[in-house]
């Protein structure tokens, strides 16, 4: 079919509908490396503005770390730019295997397989390890990539209310007759910043003979005393059957991901996971960078300890200022505004004050749950956080939301 | 039709799917097209009905349309009760 005027108009109308609903997302162009201080062109064509970035997944501040950059350069020189292949044809170098071994050791699992991204890991893992005789039972707030992977699998799918262990138990009972049961959750939930109760979940899985899969993308490198992830925080290292995670957040921030866990399940991914079989291997330059990241954090908790201190300061500051936050203790700190337009206006005003943080609204979060999702980094120094806090308070006063309850904010701005 | 069926199904839907206690639904509230029940979560509703009424609903009959309201669900269940 030709892309005729009628077709074009249909898309233009759809896009206009997104704009009219106040839900249109715009990119902001960054002219500097990823860091606490960045230079941004916004709106397009505007002169560059230096702002504090408080919305990156750069939890450990390693995205532009000089040693990581140096290691990536060396990897580029010694192993080349691209592999021009998927893993199993001619896309597996020695450093790919080395990284898999390092991740296995770090996470305390049996084996690991790399994927081009964690989105790909999640897209491939379910169909690789389950059949139509099985059931997947997922938390209702799992990440979109897990939902997409679940949709691609032939096993039946059910959900339990967010972090509701009683409901999860009911579902494990309901599906007791299935050949295999797989419970699925995020370690740290990306939009709310709370954690899955993995100790209770593992106990339930043992009671009902179920497996458990955790996407620890927003945890790996910094949650738990030595940064292993949510399973370390809840004392269940070695008891999570599958962990999926990314190298695109705390672990260097470039790209790539993995499935790590029981050796047979990992091997099933190597044999059957379609993103592993049909998408390019991780680029050597990124593998070399992640190997350096592992060197930096494997036996040194300095960065995750600093992140923990920064997170405490930031949560305390926003709470005392009178913002409504989502409760939790992770570096994801959502400032709740409830109304989509308010979240966009608030974000724009923060930018004018020299702080970069984005409004999140439907469909990224549920209707009526708009927010500014802030993310603390070990790359933030105290002066960054103090300045950002001042900006939040100034803008919060402008919109008269400080000290107001959820209900009061919704009454004034709608949701 | 079991005279209590509508209330049993309505209670299940409320307990299972409504997160906010202040929300109310009726026998004719659109559940799936109204965004209350996502198509994923239909599986637990289907299994609940099958266990409760000792029936088997083929996947082809368990369409989002057939599950869209409590009234429609009860009509569907009633169809299989006689088989």
3-state secondary structure of A280: coil
| Chains A–B, number of C-beta pairs less than 8 Å apart | 21
Q: Which residues from chain B sit within 8 angstroms of residue A157, using beta carbons?
A: 40, 43
* Same domain assignment for residues A346 and A276: no
Nearest-Cα residue of chain B relative to residue A159: B41
Residue A130 counted as domain residue: yes
Chain CA centroid to CA A406, Å: 26
Going through A6-155 in order, the beta strands assigned E by DSSP cover 29-30, 37-41, 49-53, 111-115, 135-139
Identify the pLDDT of residue A365. 86
The domain that contains A187 carries what CATH number? 3.40.640.10
Report how far apart, in Å, the C-alpha atoms of A41 and of each of A54, A155, A192 are. 16, 46, 29
Residues A174 and A205 in one domain: yes
Going along chain B from its start, the domains and CATH numbers come out as 5-81 (1.10.1200.10)
Distances (CA, A) of B14 to A6, A95, A379: 43, 53, 46
* A266-296 per-position pLDDT tens digit: 999 999 999 999 999 999 999 999 999 999 9
Mutant choice from B36, B40, B58 vs A, greatest count of A C-beta within 10 A = B40
Has residue A17 been placed in a domain?
no
Q: Which two tokens stand for residue A325?
A: 């936050």
What CATH number corresponds to the domain at position A44?
Answer: 3.90.1150.10
Nearest CA-CA distance, residue B38 and chain A, Å: 10
What gap in Å lies between CA A336 and CA B71, rounded to an integer? 37
State how many domains chain A has. 2
Looking at residue A206, the DSSP 8-state letter turns out to be H
Which two tokens mark A201? 């979940």
Q: What is the DSSP string of B56-69?
A: ---GGG--TTTTSS
- Evaluate if residue B41 carries a pLDDT over 80: no
A76's enclosing H/E stretch is helix A66-79
- Chain B residues touching residue A159 (CB < 8 angstroms): 38, 40-41, 44
Q: How far apart are CA A298 and CA A234, in angstroms?
A: 19
**Residue A186 lies inside a defined structural domain of this protein:** yes
Are A233 and A223 spatial neighbours (Cβ–Cβ below 8 Å)?
yes
pLDDT at B21: 63
Contact present, A393 and A402 (Cβ < 8 Å): yes
Q: Evaluate if residue B7 carries a pLDDT over 80.
A: yes
- Same domain? For A71 and A159 the reply is yes
Q: Using CA atoms in the order A274, A277, A280, A284, what is the torsion angle rounded to 10 degrees?
A: 120
pLDDT at B29 over 70: yes
Instruction: Say whether both A122 and A259 belong to one domain.
Output: yes
Per-position b or e across A192-217, b if 16+ CB within 10 A of its CB: bbbbbbbeebbebbeebebbbbbbbb
pLDDT of residue A309: 98
The secondary structure of residue B39, as a DSSP letter, is G
Q: Assess whether A259 and A149 both reside in one domain.
A: yes
Task: Indicate whether B30 pLDDT > 70.
Answer: yes
Please give the pLDDT value at position B32. Answer: 86
Contact A256, A114 (CB under 8 A): yes
Has residue A5 been placed in a domain? no
- Between A332 and B60, the higher pLDDT residue: A332
Please state, in angstroms and rounded to a whole number, the distance separating the CA atoms of residues A395 and A224.
Answer: 34
- pLDDT (0 to 100) of residue B83: 59
- B15 Cβ under 8 Å from any chain A Cβ: no
**Nearest Cα to A219, choosing from A239, A244, A238, A183?**
A244
Handedness of CA B45, B51, B52, B53 (dihedral sign): positive
Residues A335 and A243 in one domain: no
As annotated, the active-site residues of A are: 190, 218, 249
Residues paired with residue A356 on neighbouring β-strands, in sequence order: A53
CB A182 within 8 A of CB A134: yes
Q: What is the mean pLDDT of residues B38-61?
A: 86
A221 with A155, same domain: the answer is yes
Which spans in A338-405 are helix H?
A: 340-352, 382-398
Confirm if A291 and A99 have CB atoms less than 8 A apart. Answer: yes
| Chain A residue nearest residue B42, CA to CA | A158
- Alpha carbon distance A8, A375 (integer Å): 38
Domain boundary among A272, A298, A324: A298
Q: Which of A298, A313, A328 is the last residue of a domain?
A: A298
A223 and A306 belong to one structural domain: no
Q: What is the pLDDT of residue A104?
A: 98
Structural domain boundaries enclosing A286? 66-298
Clarify whether residues A270 and A394 are in a common domain: no
Q: Return contacts of A305-313, CB within 8 angstroms, 24+ apart.
A: A306/A378, A307/A59, A307/A60, A307/A61, A307/A222, A307/A331, A307/A376, A307/A377, A307/A378, A308/A222, A310/A376, A310/A377, A310/A378, A310/A380, A310/A385, A311/A376, A313/A382, A313/A385
Q: Is residue A250 part of a domain?
A: yes
Task: Confirm whether A96 is domain-assigned.
Answer: yes
| Strand duo A37-41 + A211-215: pairing | unpaired
Name residues of chain A where pLDDT drops below 70: 1
Which residue of A147, A150, A158 is in closest CB contact with B44? Answer: A158
Determine the Cα–Cα distance for residues A111 and A364; give it in Å rounded to an integer.
33
The pLDDT of residue B25: 87
How confident is the model at residue B18, as a pLDDT?
A: 83
Q: Identify whether the C-beta of residue A67 lies closer than 8 Å to the C-beta of residue A296.
A: yes
Residues A139 and A280 in one domain: yes
Do A223 and A364 belong together in one domain? no
Q: Is residue A6 part of a domain?
A: no
Of A56, A29, A25, A24, the residue nearest A42 (C-alpha): A29
pLDDT at B22 over 70: no
Higher pLDDT, B54 or A318: A318
Which residue is it, tokens 């049996």?
A110
The answer to whether the Cβ–Cβ distance between A174 and B40 falls below 8 Å is no
The answer to whether position A7 is within a domain reads no
The Cα–Cα gap between A91 and B32 comes to: 44
What is the value of pTM for the model shown? 0.93
Give the residue from A281, A298, A315 where a domain finishes: A298
Give pLDDT tens digits for A117-146: 999 999 999 999 999 999 999 999 999 999
3-class DSSP state for residue A256? coil
Q: Provide the shortest C-alpha distance from residue B36 to chain A (in Å).
A: 12
In the structure encoding, which two tokens stand for residue A340, read together?
């989509």
Both A35 and A82 in a single domain? no
**Interface predicted TM-score (ipTM):** 0.80
């Amino acid at each position: 079919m030709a892309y005729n005027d009628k077709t074009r108009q249909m898309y233009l109308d759809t896009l206009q509908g997104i704009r009219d609903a106040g839900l249109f997302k715009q990119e902001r162009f960054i002219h500097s490396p990823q860091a606490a201080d960045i230079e941004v062109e916004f709106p397009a064509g505007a002169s560059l503005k230096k702002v504090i970035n408080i919305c990156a997944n750069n939890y450990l501040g390693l995205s532009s770390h000089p040693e990581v950059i140096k290691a990536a350069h060396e990897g580029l020189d010694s192993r080349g730019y691209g592999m021009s292949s998927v893993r199993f044809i001619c896309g597996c170098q020695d450093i790919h295997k080395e990284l898999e071994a390092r991740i296995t050791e770090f996470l305390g699992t049996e084996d690991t397989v790399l994927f081009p991204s964690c989105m790909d890991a999640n897209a491939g893992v379910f169909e690789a390890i389950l059949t139509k005789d099985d059931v997947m039972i997922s938390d209702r707030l799992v990440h979109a990539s897990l939902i997409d992977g679940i949709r691609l699998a032939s096993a039946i799918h059910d959900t339990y209310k967010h972090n509701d262990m009683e409901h999860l138990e009911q579902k494990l009972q309901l599906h007791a007759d299935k050949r295999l049961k797989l419970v699925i959750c995020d370690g740290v939930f990306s939009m709310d910043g709370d954690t899955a109760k993995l100790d209770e979940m593992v106990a339930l899985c043992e009671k009902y003979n179920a497996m458990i899969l955790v996407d620890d993308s927003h945890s790996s490198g910094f949650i738990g005393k030595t940064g292993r992830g949510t399973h370390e925080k809840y004392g269940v290292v070695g008891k999570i059957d599958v962990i999926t995670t990314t190298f695109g957040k705390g672990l260097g921030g470039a790209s790539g991901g993995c499935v790590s866990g029981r050796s047979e399940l990992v091997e099933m991914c190597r044999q059957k996971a379609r993103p592993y079989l049909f998408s390019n291997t991780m680029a050597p330059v990124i593998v070399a960078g992640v190997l350096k990241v592992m060197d930096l954090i494997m036996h040194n908790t300095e960065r995750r300890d600093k992140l923990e201190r920064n997170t405490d300061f930031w949560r305390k500051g926003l709470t005392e200022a009178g913002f409504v936050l989502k409760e939790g203790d992770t570096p994801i700190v959502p400032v709740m505004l409830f109304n989509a337009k308010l979240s966009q206006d608030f974000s724009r005003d923060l930018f004018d004050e020299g702080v970069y943080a984005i409004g999140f609204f439907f469909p990224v979060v549920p209707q009526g749950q708009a927010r500014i999702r802030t993310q603390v980094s070990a790359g933030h120094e105290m002066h960054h956080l103090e300045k950002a806090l001042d900006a939040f308070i100034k803008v919060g006063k402008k919109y008269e939301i400080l000290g107001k309850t959820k209900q009061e904010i919704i009454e004034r701005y709608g949701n | 039709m079991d005279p209590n069926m509508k209330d049993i199904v309505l209670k299940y839907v409320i307990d299972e799917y409504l997160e906010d206690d202040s929300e109310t639904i009726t026998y004719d509230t659109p559940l799936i097209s109204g965004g209350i029940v996502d198509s994923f979560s239909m599986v637990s509703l289907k299994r609940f009905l099958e266990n409760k009424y000792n029936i088997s609903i083929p996947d082809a009959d368990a369409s989002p349309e057939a599950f869209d309201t409590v009234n429609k669900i009860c009509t569907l269940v009633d169809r299989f009760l006689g088989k």
